[in-house]
Amino acid sequence: MDLSAAKMIGAGLACIALVGAGIGIGNVFSSLINALARNPAAQVTPFAFLGFALAEATGLFGLAIAFLILFVF
């Protein structure tokens, strides 16, 4: 198989990791909405943003691998 064809396939497969990121981020903000609906005075919003960044980070690790495959090898 051509190297560039294999690179495309590899990068595409690596991007499947972002599914996890989407589910994780949805979970975080769903919990935030639930918490604020039950108790609007709760100060949980900073934790929600921290959780969002950490969940997105793992997805972006996968995207970094995709870029690595595409542009470095």
Partner 1 sequence: MAIELKPLQQFTIEPLVPIHVGGVDLSYTNSALLMTLAVVLVTALVVLGARRAAVVPGRWQSIAEVSYEFVADMVDTSAGPGGMEYFAFVFTLFMFVLAGNLLGLLPYSFTFTGQLIVTFALAAAVFIGVTVIGVVKHGVKFLKLFVPEGVPPILLLLLVPIELLSYVIRPFTLAIRLFANMLAGHTMLAIFAGFAASVPLFGILPLGIDVLLYFLELLVAVLQAYVFAILTCLYLRDALHLH
Show the tokens assigned to 51.
């959780």
Rank residues 71 and 73 by Cβ distance to partner 1 and give the closer one: 71
Q: Which part of the chain contacts partner 1 (CB under 8 A), choosing from 1-9, 26-34, 61-69? A: 61-69
Dihedral angle at the C-alpha atoms of 57, 35, 37, 30, nearest 10 degrees?
30
Under the criterion CB under 8 A, does residue 64 sit at the interface with partner 1?
yes
Rank residues 37 and 46 by Cβ distance to partner 1 and give the closer one: 46
Rank residues 3 and 37 by Cβ distance to partner 1 and give the closer one: 3
Q: 14 near 69, Cβ under 8 Å?
A: yes
Show the tokens assigned to 8.
């495309």
